């Protein structure tokens, strides 16, 4: 027998489905009777338990230390320490308090441990039935090894990847891997091709999926991390090591430039002071002041608060944000890759069309609820259509094991989703399920088989006769039909009838409908046999396995071959998972905003393409690219073609991650939405991962940056709108803060160069940066979002947050505020003390900054064209700041804290007038610029014409 280590070497993704059962058993060194307990123990010891590995968890200390990686933070720490050493205790405490506050906020936001792989472990089976030593026993799933024989039955959670040996009406729900909720039929037959999409591997069962119906036996070919679920776990861990968000990268890049520029100026002025013979203590104080002037201390808090307020607004629009930077990332999104089932569509199979007695009918309503009706030529059906419709729905209800239940106001199906859709349609068309069950009790059932592609239920009619109701694939069903229901009776079927029905089937299939044919046949059996069947029915219960098996033995001839022939064809039923009503409008809104929407689904290509065309994602010429075709593409080829592909179908978790990375390689900012485990790696690898709150698995939610509570694509678009508004607010807030710092730095630098005493002390600069600038900046971050924000195209990933226009405005503002303060300082210094001159320079700079906050609300609109009371908080903050500034010049305690002297009220009003000069000049510049552009009112952000369309 093959040794255990050799078994462990089985490769992931091996084409087990294209090998015969005998070949697979030989390769894993097993038999249909299973392994011996001794051999299983050896393999378990050699290969380890059948468990998914958890990734390394980041400790709280690592998260806390991560808050101090920024160069800007270390400059602040150095400034605080130096201030403390030099005896400026108040300055040191204020600076270090900023550092601690920023670290606490950052730690709080990031202290969400990565639980994606831990959540995956919940999907694995705690117990499993295997054949050991020739007997079926139940063991912990972690003890399963390659070569074990799994015994599967309805309700089981599959514990490992396995190749089927036998199957009886076996159906598995593989939504965790494929994203499609419909149960897949399983059969042990060998598949011919090696390259078969995961969802089409009918002879394989996979870890984490569940058995919906039937029984089977399968040999385990992969365990733990070698399974398909294990591969997804590995992809999640790999995708988790992605780069930070665009905003984080832009702010970090900007911070480096700012810090090194500030250090360069400080070093230059320090050397200049040494050459002049300035005292070392004074030089240190000047250097600290310059460092404080250059660094916008309030920026980390402003950005955090702005994002946090965005989170609050988004929650009101049914979007829950788990990671703060994701708020802004949404605003710069250029591509949204979305799952189909449940996001763009309702997520529930719904019958849309009926065909019976030569007439076509439309069915309205969505999901499994009773809302809706049957229509003929756009109108509700009239009495003359009742009989043929009842004939068809009687078959739909008679050959049906599903039940509809209402939970929390929502209708759900218990049983097969397809049968649930047929049941809902039957009720809309006037059928009576209770009457069918009561008057025509079930006597026998022949379950669906993937080889026959038919299912049959035999019921006893009131006169004691038996009638078989049969549903299945239309082409197969037609071959077994000899007669046709016409609405007025039954007649023999002609070749012309068959061609007409097949043409109708094709027409419905081209509309992305899944088509089901319905037929019936009266059976001739002896009365004693019928009585025997009735006895079995009452003893076993309707539809139970005892009845089925007993009836099969007792009722001679009730086999599929004998029952499913000479049938009376009744009609066709077309069903699909319909698009959400609001999805089409949301996709159109994305297109208007320059955002590309791409569908990525595990569904079949023709269905995916039809839905994509219906809601506007794909044009008439677009076709879906299947996962098999993706496997043939190199990464380089995919990078080139990805921008031209609108629909991907029959894809796996690995395919989805490749698509995301291909878009990112093309400088796109990518959002990925989904609900299944198979979506989790791509969600983790995208710039912004979005999980569905209702249908989403715990794995997907833990991997996501944002959770949509109503599973609606339109909510994602609303969140993008919020994100764009937040970015615009952060940009104008950043400009307001940096322009103030520029003015302070210019004032300090000019005075040092020409040999004047330092015009502002560190406490003055901290007061301006935190109170005078910081509080209005927080109010600017909460400005109402521009209603035209979704009419602009998104920013490029490479676009700098500080472009030329930004820097020009920042430089002009700094020159104006610094110039006014320098003029006041120089004037007062000639006739007064240094302390008085500093007080006046400090006051005029504060007044200029506060007044300028009103103009900073827009980069293009003059202050008189911005409604004043749309930001009441800003008015309140400016008023309080004015009051504190004036009070500091007339209150001894506050004056000592701020190191200012007293000032007459008349001088306060004079300085207020001088402080208005920068605001007036900047607003006049806006008017001139607007006139040059030929428009009185332009959007705050320029349209990016190169965004993907």
Question: Could you please report the per-residue DSSP string of 343-389?
Answer: TTB-SS-EEEEEEETTEEEEE---TTSS---EEETTEE--GGGHHHH
CA 374, CA 396: separation in Å to the nearest integer? Answer: 15
Structure-token pair, residue 376:
């003929």
Question: Could you please report the per-residue DSSP string of 165-203?
Answer: EEEEEEEEE-HHHHS--SPEE---PPPS-S---GGG-TT
CA 457, CA 870: separation in Å to the nearest integer? Answer: 68
CB 700 within 8 A of CB 692: yes
Residue 567, H or E segment: strand 567-576
Going by the DSSP 8-state scheme, the letter that residue 579 receives in this structure is B
Using only the alpha carbons of the chain, give its radius of gyration: 36
Going by the DSSP 8-state scheme, the letter that residue 793 receives in this structure is P
CA 710, CA 941: separation in Å to the nearest integer? Answer: 31
Residue 820: strand pairing partners: none
Tell me the catalytic residues: 339
Can you state the angle between helices 545-554 and 527-540, rounded to 10 degrees?
160
CB 825 within 8 A of CB 841: yes
Strand locations in 461-513 (E): 466-472, 481-485, 490-492
- Please list, residue by residue across 29-58, b when 16 or more beta carbons sit within 10 angstroms of its beta carbon and e when fewer do: bbeeebbeeebbebbbeebeebebeebeee
Long-range (24+ apart) CB contacts under 8 A made by 909-912 are: 911/824, 911/840, 911/843, 911/844, 911/847, 912/847, 912/851
Which residues have C-beta within 8 Å of that of residue 448, sequence separation ≥ 6? 169, 171, 185, 454, 455, 472
Polymer length of the chain:
949
State how far Cα 513 lies from the chain centre.
Answer: 27
CA 485, CA 394: separation in Å to the nearest integer? Answer: 13
Dihedral angle computed from the Cα positions of residues 852, 855, 858 and 862, in that order, rounded to the nearest 10 degrees: -150
CA 706, CA 315: separation in Å to the nearest integer? Answer: 10
CA 65, CA 415: separation in Å to the nearest integer? Answer: 52
Task: For residue 818, give Cα distances in angstroms to 263, 265, 479, 602, 846.
Answer: 20, 16, 90, 61, 11
Residue 688: strand pairing partners: 671
- Please list, residue by residue across 786-803, b when 16 or more beta carbons sit within 10 angstroms of its beta carbon and e when fewer do: beebbebbbbbbeeebbe
- Please list, residue by residue across 639-662, b when 16 or more beta carbons sit within 10 angstroms of its beta carbon and e when fewer do: beebbebbbbbbbbbbbbbbbbbb
Question: Could you please report the per-residue DSSP string of 889-915?
Answer: TT-HHHHHHHT-----HHHHHHHHHHH
Helix locations, 785-904, DSSP H: 804-831, 834-855, 872-888, 892-898
Dihedral sign (CA 128, 130, 136, 137): negative
Which residues have C-beta within 8 Å of that of residue 100, sequence separation ≥ 6? none
Which residues have C-beta within 8 Å of that of residue 80, sequence separation ≥ 6? 91, 92, 93, 95, 96, 99
Residue 133's SS3 state is: coil
CB 211 within 8 A of CB 156: yes
Q: How many CB atoms lie within 10 A of CB 879?
A: 11
């Amino acid at each position: 027998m093959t040794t255990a280590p050799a078994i462990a070497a089985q490769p992931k993704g091996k084409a087990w489905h294209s090998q015969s059962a005998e070949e697979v058993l030989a390769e894993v060194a097993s038999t249909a009777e299973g392994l011996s307990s001794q051999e299983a123990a050896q393999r378990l010891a050699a290969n380890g338990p059948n468990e998914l590995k958890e990734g390394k968890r980041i400790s709280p200390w690592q998260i806390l230390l991560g808050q101090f990686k920024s160069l800007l933070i270390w400059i602040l720490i150095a400034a605080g320490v130096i201030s403390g050493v030099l005896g400026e205790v108040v300055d040191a405490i204020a600076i270090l308090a900023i550092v601690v506050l920023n670290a606490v906020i950052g730690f709080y936001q990031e202290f969400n441990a990565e639980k994606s792989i831990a959540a995956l472990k919940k999907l694995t089976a705690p117990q499993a039935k295997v054949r050991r030593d020739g007997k079926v026993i139940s063991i912990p799933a972690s003890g399963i090894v390659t070569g074990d024989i799994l015994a599967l039955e309805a309700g089981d959670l599959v514990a490992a990847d396995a190749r089927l040996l036998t199957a009886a009406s076996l159906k598995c729900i593989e939504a965790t891997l494929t994203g499609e909720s419909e149960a897949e039929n399983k059969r042990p037959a060998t598949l011919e091709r090696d390259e078969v999409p995961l969802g089409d591997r009918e002879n394989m069962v996979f870890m984490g999926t569940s058995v919906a119906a039937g029984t089977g036996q399968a040999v385990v070919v992969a365990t733990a991390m070698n399974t398909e679920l294990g591969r997804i776990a590995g992809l999640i861990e790999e995708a988790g090591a992605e780069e930070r968000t665009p905003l984080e990268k832009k702010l970090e890049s900007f911070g480096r430039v700012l810090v090194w520029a500030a250090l360069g100026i400080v070093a230059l002025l320090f050397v200049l002071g040494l050459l002049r013979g300035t005292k070392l203590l004074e030089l240190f104080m000047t250097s600290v002041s310059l460092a404080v002037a250059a660094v916008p201390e309030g920026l980390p808090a402003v950005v955090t608060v702005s994002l946090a307020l965005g989170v609050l607004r988004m929650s009101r629009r049914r979007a829950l944000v788990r990671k703060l930077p994701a708020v802004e990332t949404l605003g710069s999104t250029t591509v949204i890759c979305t799952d189909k089932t449940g996001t763009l569509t309702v997520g529930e199979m719904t019958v849309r069309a009926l065909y019976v007695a030569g007439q076509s009918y439309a069915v309205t309503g969505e999901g499994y609820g009773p809302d809706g009706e049957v229509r003929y030529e756009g109108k509700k059906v009239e009495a003359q259509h009742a009989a043929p419709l009842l004939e068809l729905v009687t078959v739909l209800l008679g050959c049906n094991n599903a039940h509809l239940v209402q939970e929390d106001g929502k209708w759900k199906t218990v049983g097969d989703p397809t049968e649930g859709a047929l049941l809902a349609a039957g009720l809309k068309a006037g059928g009576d399920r209770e009457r069918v069950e009561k008057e025509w009790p079930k006597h026998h059932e022949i379950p669906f088989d993937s080889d026959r592609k038919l299912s049959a239920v035999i019921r006893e009619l009131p006169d004691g006769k038996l009638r078989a109701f049969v549903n299945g694939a239309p082409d197969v069903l037609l071959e077994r039909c000899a007669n046709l229901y016409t609405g007025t009776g039954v007649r023999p079927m002609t070749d012309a009838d068959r061609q007409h029905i097949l043409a109708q089937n094709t027409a419905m299939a081209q509309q992305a409908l899944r088509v089901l044919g319905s037929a019936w046949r009266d059976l001739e059996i002896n009365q004693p046999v019928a009585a025997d069947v009735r006895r079995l029915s009452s003893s076993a219960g309707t539809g139970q396995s005892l009845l089925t098996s007993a009836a099969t033995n007792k009722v001679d001839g009730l086999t599929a071959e004998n029952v499913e022939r000479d049938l009376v064809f009744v009609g066709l039923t077309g069903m699909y998972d319909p698009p959400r009503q609001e999805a089409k409008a949301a996709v159109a809104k994305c297109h208007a905003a320059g955002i590309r929407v791409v569908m990525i689904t595990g569904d079949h290509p023709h269905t995916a393409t039809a839905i994509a065309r219906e809601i506007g994602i794909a044009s008439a010429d677009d076709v879906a690219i299947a996962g098999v075709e993706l496997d043939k593409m190199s990464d380089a080829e995919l990078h080139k073609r990805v921008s031209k592909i609108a629909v991907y179908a029959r894809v796996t978790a690995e395919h989805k991650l490749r698509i995301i990375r291909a878009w990112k390689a093309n400088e796109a900012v990518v959002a990925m939405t989904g609900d299944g485990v198979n979506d989790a790696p791509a969600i983790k690898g995208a710039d912004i991962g979005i999980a569905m709150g209702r249908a989403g698995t715990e794995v997907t939610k833990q991997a996501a940056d944002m959770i949509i509570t109503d599973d609606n694509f339109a909510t994602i678009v609303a969140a993008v709108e919020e994100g764009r508004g937040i970015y615009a607010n952060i940009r104008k807030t950043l400009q307001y803060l940096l322009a103030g710092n520029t003015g302070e730095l210019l004032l300090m630098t000019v005075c040092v160069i020409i040999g004047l005493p330092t015009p502002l002390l560190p406490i003055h600069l901290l007061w301006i940066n935190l109170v005078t600038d910081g509080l209005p900046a927080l109010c600017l971050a909460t400005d109402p979002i521009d209603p035209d924000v979704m009419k602009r195209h998104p920013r490029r990933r490479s676009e700098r947050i500080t472009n030329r226009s930004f820097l020009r405005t920042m430089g002009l503002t700094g020159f104006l505020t610094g110039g006014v303060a320098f003029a006041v300082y120089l004037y007062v210094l000639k006739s007064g003390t240094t302390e008085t001159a500093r007080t006046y320079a400090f006051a005029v700079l504060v007044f200029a900054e506060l007044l300028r906050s009103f103009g900073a609300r827009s980069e293009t609109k003059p202050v008189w064209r911005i409604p004043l009371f749309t930001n009441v908080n800003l008015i309140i903050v400016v008023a309080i700041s004015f009051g504190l500034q004036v009070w500091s010049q007339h209150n001894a305690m506050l004056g000592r804290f701020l190191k200012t002297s007293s000032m007459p009220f008349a001088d306060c009003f004079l300085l207020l007038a001088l402080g208005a000069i920068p605001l007036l000049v900047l607003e006049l510049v806006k008017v001139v610029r607007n006139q040059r552009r030929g428009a009185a009112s332009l959007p705050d952000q320029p349209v990016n014409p190169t965004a993907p369309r």
